[in-house]
Amino acid sequence: MQWLNPKAWLACSAEMAAFVADGNWLRMGQFAAIYAVVCYLSLASWAWTGAYLLRRAAVPAGVRLFNRAMAALLAGSAGYLLLP
């Protein structure tokens, strides 16, 4: 379903305009191939992470640990935003 992602379409359009503005078809093909590989590797990593977390969510202790880790990351992100 990645091809339905509007953010991905905007990012791809912006990058095509920035890096392949001269209209060179070979460079456009290379860029599209690299972008497709990176996109699908990213999608695969999200799917693997989701499957891993689903196995851990079957155990109450795993859910508790996940929630605490996410809370710590959220607090760390908020604290980082407050730094000068």
In sequence order, what are the residues at sequence separation of 6 or more whose Cβ sits closer than 8 angstroms to the Cβ of residue 62?
56
- Domain extents in the chain: 2-82
- The rounded mean pLDDT for the chain is 85
CA distance 24 to 47: 34
pLDDT digits (tens, 9 = 90+) for 12-52: 778 777 777 777 788 888 888 888 898 889 889 989 998 98
How much of the chain, in percent, has pLDDT values that exceed 70?
A: 96
pLDDT band at 80 (very low <50, low <70, confident <90, very high): very high
Q: Which amino acid is at 20?
A: V
Distances (CA, A) of 43 to 6, 35, 40, 54, 66: 15, 12, 5, 16, 21
